Each structure stands twice: as C-alpha cells, then as structure tokens.
Amino acid sequence: MSRTDLGLAEAPAAAPALFRPITIRDLEIRNRIWVPPLCQYSVTERDGVPHDWHLVHLGSMAAGGAGLVIAEATAVNPAGRISDYDTGLWNDEQAAAWARITRFIRSQGAASGIQLAHAGRKASVWPETVDRRGSQPLDEGGWTTVAPSAIAFDGLRRPEALDEAGILAVIEDFRAAARRAVAAGFDVVEVHAAHGYLVHQFLSPLSNLREDRWGGDLEGRARLLLEIVREVRAEIGERMPLFVRFSATDWAPGGWDEEQTSTVAGWAAEAGADFFDISTGGLVRDVRIPVGPAYQAAHAEFVRGRAGVSVSAVGRITTPEQAEQLVASGSADAVMFGKAMMRDPHLALRAANALGADAAHWPPQYLRARPEANDGEF
C-alpha cells in the first residue's frame, strides 16, 4: 500500500501532527505516539503464556493515551524464543491469555499489535531481566538453535542450518501464529525482521551464506521474509494492517544496509505489508553505534523516501517536541517511544498537554487529574 492511501490529507490541519489519526487499511489509530515491542521476560511458568504483568505493562500505556501498543517479540514456536521466559503464540492457551490483554487495550481506545518473532541463532539465552548472565547461552534446559547458515553469533552456541523442510515449517508457524493473533483480537501484526533474529539472519549477507534459493543474491536472502509476509497476509485478510520491523543497517562493513532495506521494503509492500518500523543493529555484537537523540530517525526517513512506504521512527526519542518535529517534517509517519514509555506510561497524555492537543484520551477514572482541573499542573 502506498503512503498516499493512508488518509493523512483528511486530518484536521490544526491538530499537532502527532495527534492526527492515521488510517491503515481498515484500522484508524487515534494518534502517532506508539509503543514498540518491549520484551519483558516475565513468563514465569515458561509456557509462553502472558499474564498479569503483561496486562498491566501494556494496559497502562493504552490507558496513558498511546495510539498503538505493540506487544513484545512473541515466538511462533518454542525454539524461536530468545529465552524460556518469552511469550509465545503457538497454542490456543496463549491466544486466550492474549485476548484478555487486547480487550483491555481496546477498552482504552488504543490499538493493539503483536510482534511475531523467531530468534534463530540468538535463541536459548538467559533473559537479561532474570539473571545477570543475561544474553549468555542457557547452560541447563537450553535447546538447539537454528539459522540460515551454521555460523554462531559471537558468544552464543553454533546453530544448525535449517533445511528446506525446516524453513517451510517456520513459514507455516508464522502463518499459524498470525491466525491466533487475529483470534486473540490484535489489530496489527508485525513481523520481526530486525535485531539479528532469524528473518534478519536470512536478510544479511554476513549471516546467510546459503547457495540455494533462500540465500545468495538479495532476492534469495529476502525470500523468507517475503514468503512470511504473503502467508501472514493470506491469513489475516485484507482489512488488517501488517507491519515489518527492519534493522536498516548492521553497522558493519559488507552487511545489510539502508539500500537493501528500501528495496526489500518495496517488495514486502507488494507482497502485502503496509507499514515499516525502522530500527537498526543486532546482527553483529560489539559494533560501534552512534547512539544519540533520535539516532535512527534518519534511517526511517531514508527508507520512507527511497521506497515510498510509510514508516515509524524509534530509538532515543524522548520528548513530545522531538516526536512532533519528526512527524510534522515528514521524516516519519509515526514515532515509537520505548524506554521513555516505560519511565512514564502516560507519556502520550503528557505529550497532548505539552503540544496543546485535545486530550480526549484521558480515562474517565482519571479526569480529576487533568491539568485543566489542576491549574495546568501535570
């Protein structure tokens, strides 16, 4: 879908750009302050089932006025979990638990998304929030990891290269998880093709040395993503938005980059994707990344311009003014706040106040706390 289809022109001109609703397929999202996927490593029973923490974590950001809340990287099969504290969506018990969460998010006027993921060679590690060995291989209870080629991520165990049947099974798992995402009431499905996880491992020439149809040139390396996008689109139907998260660069010579991202984003759009969530990195450990305010936004802008697709920017965006500037100037169509949203789940309400937007999103229970009722104090 091209950018002109997104209904930007219909928005009231006076509203700050961040608070203009955006329509993607049949979904209208009330503003452009979104929550990116944030792994919580909080599935204590190790069964992939989200519970109260996930409800409160995601629900508070929906009550806090965010337009779209995307649930964390959620594995499409058990081997695809980063750790065994990850959420999953490979069975109906997990889908039922997610349904409780999507119902609450919707009740707050926000849209819900889920990031479908497979960690590939970066699976089977200690979760950073649970153990100081975070991101080191699990010693007991670990499992065999898979990847396009049998090349280890620095510090982790060597993966097995997937064979043709294994690749087709992964695609089927994404499809089945998308079916459960619809059943669970999610409004958006995002395919995780970033941060050095399985789909990114296929995209990057540094981790994909295959010589069959799933590797080699750009078309071969992009085949897994495009097949997943086609299968997920077939499963979710024509009305529901489909996002892809890319790392626009590996920050490493000879790796995946903005040009390849833009070309493949264009192909993914033809295959049924609507929106691109642009991050960077994660494929190679210890690369030098110039982290600073909004440091990845230029990558989002590049992909938006080069591929003619809609994008969100993410990464060290912390203030409403910064986010407003990114959307108003046309660098991005929406902005995601990760760590800033964890510091203040009501960040979107605060942003509405700061930018003078109509704060229609206050939960009625909290009306007496509105600045209007408190001499402007927030």
Ligand X SMILES: Cc1cc2nc3c(=O)[nH]c(=O)nc-3n(C[C@H](O)[C@H](O)[C@H](O)COP(=O)(O)O)c2cc1C
Residues that are catalytic = 197
> What is the smallest separation between the CB atom of 370 and ligand X, expressed in angstroms?
26
> What is the smallest separation between the CB atom of 337 and ligand X, expressed in angstroms?
5
User: Which C-beta is closer to ligand X: that of 215 or that of 320?
Assistant: 320
Q: Count other Cβ atoms within 10 Å, centred on residue 123.
A: 31
Pairing of strands 160-161, 188-193: unpaired
Closest residue to ligand X, Cβ-based?
338
Q: What's the N-to-C CA distance of the chain in angstroms?
A: 39
Cα gap 73→67, rounded to integer Å: 19
Cα gap 27→24, rounded to integer Å: 5
Q: Given the rule CB under 6 A, which residues bind ligand X?
A: 36-39, 72-73, 115, 192, 194-195, 245, 279, 314-317, 337-340
Q: How far is CA 99 from CA 22, 96, 133, 179, in A?
A: 24, 5, 33, 13
Q: How far is CA 240 from CA 24, 61, 71, 256, in A?
A: 8, 22, 16, 29
> What is the smallest separation between the CB atom of 245 and ligand X, expressed in angstroms?
5
DSSP 88: B
> What is the smallest separation between the CB atom of 75 and ligand X, expressed in angstroms?
10
Backbone angles phi, psi at 73, to 5 degrees: -50, 115
Among candidate residues 15, 32, 105, 5, the one with its CA nearest the CA of residue 336: 32
User: Which C-beta is closer to ligand X: that of 256 or that of 337?
Assistant: 337
User: Which C-beta is closer to ligand X: that of 36 or that of 120?
Assistant: 36
Q: How far is CA 81 from CA 16, 66, 86, 96, 285, in A?
A: 39, 27, 6, 19, 19
> What is the smallest separation between the CB atom of 198 and ligand X, expressed in angstroms?
13
User: Which C-beta is closer to ligand X: that of 148 or that of 281?
Assistant: 281
User: Which C-beta is closer to ligand X: that of 168 or that of 291?
Assistant: 291
